[in-house]
Amino acid sequence: MASDNVIISCALTGAVTTKKHCPAIPYTPVEIAEEARRAYEAGATIVHIHARNDDGSPSWSKETFAAIQRETRERCPVLINWSTGGAGPMRDRVSHLSLRPEIAALNMGSMNYAKWNSAKGAFAFQFVFANSFDDIVAFAKEMQANGCKPEMECFDTGHTNSYRVLEDMGLIAKPYHFSFIMGVVGGIPATARHLAFQAEQVPAGSRWKVIGISREQWPLAMAALSLGGDVRVGLEDNFYLPTGEMATSNGDLVAAAVNMAKLSGRGVATLEETKQILWPA
């Protein structure tokens, strides 16, 4: 039987927000690795990582990912989850998989991606987030070739059910690993009822977690804990603690998630337990 303990993941930096939005956002490999350490010491066993240039702009440089991996490994044994999403040609978005992180994010479908600024009554930005089945399969093959477990990122219900294609092709291994991103304009709404519906779509024995955007993070985390799911927090998704105070590090957000898990009556998975859950013997 799968453990009921909660796997806590932390998304350290993302690719869009800057230190102007939140001073704790890390840019350099050392800064990112230090945030990985803080997240691990607070209770996270997986860290999701985008690479950045030293000025904060996004990077797909394999050398930068290698530096982040090296600096992180020197500080803690946390499991590394590379991003493969966003803009840029596929060859750039998969080259760093040869560094063989334990996990890699796999976007499972296309969507209209937008951020609505209610104060101005206009979109702050918008674009089509294109992930064709050809691309999804190609990414999955790269992950399989490099021994990375796909974390299937689902922004809507159709994305969740797209796992069937990869299953039929033998490109994913059980237990499957899903992430439900909720609260993006153009994707599934950030409500507990929608989360429950998403959780019903995955096959028995799978592991799933919720990724709530901005202030929706904490209500959705509470819902996931009650439904038996896992939780992702981190400065990529949200800057604020449940109190409304801005976090000073990713460790602050992880500590809040740990406390929330304990209040729900569930334990927090250790590193070794996380490995056993995602890669059972």
pLDDT value, residue 87: 67
Q: Tell me: the pLDDT tens digits for 205-251? A: 999 999 999 889 999 999 999 999 999 999 999 999 999 999 999 99
Residue 249, both tokens: 């590090």
pLDDT tens for 66-92 read 999 999 999 999 999 999 987 667 788
Ranges of each domain in the chain: 8-278
Report whether pLDDT(17) > 50. yes
- 32 pLDDT more than 70: yes
User: Is pLDDT of 21 > 70?
Assistant: yes
Mean pLDDT of the chain: 94
What is the residue-wise DSSP string for 111-153?
EEEEEEETTTTEEEEEEEE---HHHHHHHHHHHHHTTPEEEEE
Alpha helix (H) residue ranges in the chain: 29-42, 62-75, 90-94, 133-145, 157-161, 163-168, 192-201, 217-227, 250-263, 271-278
CA–chain centroid gap for 46, Å, is 9
What tens digit of pLDDT does each residue of 130-179 get?
899 999 999 999 999 999 999 999 999 999 999 999 999 999 999 999 99
Predicted pLDDT at 242:
96
Cα(first)–Cα(last) distance of the chain, in Å?
A: 13
pTM value? 0.95
Residue 1, pLDDT score: 44
CATH number of the domain at 8-278, out of 2.40.50.100, 2.160.10.10, 3.40.50.1000, 3.20.20.70?
3.20.20.70
